[in-house]
Amino acid sequence: MSIGETQFQLNQDQASFFDRQGYLIIEDALKGNQLHKIQGTSYRVEQQTQAEWRQAVANLPDFRPYGLGPTAHVVYPIINHDDIFLDLLEHPMTISIAMAFMGPDIQMIDNALHIKPAGSRSHTGWHRDAQTWFHSTEAWTEADQYTWQQMRACERPFFKIKIFFCVDDVNEETAPFSVVPGSHKTGEDRVPQYNELEEMPNHLKLVGKAGTAILWNGRIWHTAMHNTDTKSRRMLLFNYTHFGMKQHAPCVPASGFAQHVRNRSPLCRQLLGLERMTTTDQ
């Protein structure tokens, strides 16, 4: 299911779809001048980090986020490269949906620009990123409980939501992000063993034009397919969980970056893990 560019609020059918199927596609989340700037800045950062990526490919460090290596050029984190990526962190359309499924204590734990070179095989197999939410909302403050009741689009908060933005058009050949719809609701945790990614039953390749956003529950079975096209696939990704949970080390704001974002919105500062918003901020 996808949401058109003019629909900022989920209706009941869309909310139910995301809850049941575990993913949601937003068409034209980025468009016009904003999309062009994001594309240009992403291409520039990609070029600027080519040497660093090649060194990582040669040395294969222990920490290789999102499959960093010959089949994945990963800029991790991305938000410290340009404020335009910080803006995406709290994109009004996507973050409002994420909060409706996670609650007011949302926080980013990592972010990246992910590039799949032309002709490269997948950097990962089928897997899950998260568990089912195992905390009770009764452990939240009264203010958070009240806010959750006002905003919630599901019965139980999601543990983790990732948001992908397509920098370029993505088709079935350009390493599309793929999911097994509804699998976040199943209890099976055994990693599926298939010789080929395409053998996964009931999988769906999520494609879209540049500017499309994909939101998905971290518990859903997912992978990135092989890039059999003659062009690279580029996506920006933002990974959200709940405030106070561990951020991946490179994405923890250093003192200089924390100072840089001192005048950003209270929501942005919360997403960065710096401080919770107050009820008046919300």
Location of structure tokens 């800045």: 41
| Predicted TM-score (pTM) of this structure | 0.94
pLDDT band at 280 (very low <50, low <70, confident <90, very high): low
pLDDT at 136 over 90: no
Average pLDDT, the chain: 92
**Overall average pLDDT of the 83-89 stretch:** 97
Q: What CATH number was assigned to the domain covering residues 2-186+195-271?
A: 2.60.120.620
Confidence of residue 282 (pLDDT cuts 50, 70, 90): low
Say how far apart CA 271 and CA 95 lie, in whole Å. Answer: 10
Alpha carbon distances (Å) from 262 to 5, 190, 222, 250, 278 = 31, 44, 36, 19, 16
pLDDT value for 279:
60
What pLDDT is attached to residue 5?
Answer: 42
Answer whether residue 2 shows pLDDT above 50: no
Top-confidence residue, 67 or 195? 67
In terms of Cα–Cα distance, which of 208, 196, 200 is closest to 172?
208
Instruction: Show me where the domains of the chain are located.
Output: 2-186+195-271
Measured CA to CA in angstroms, residue 67 lies from 63, 124, 128 at distances of 9, 7, 14
3-state secondary structure of 10: coil
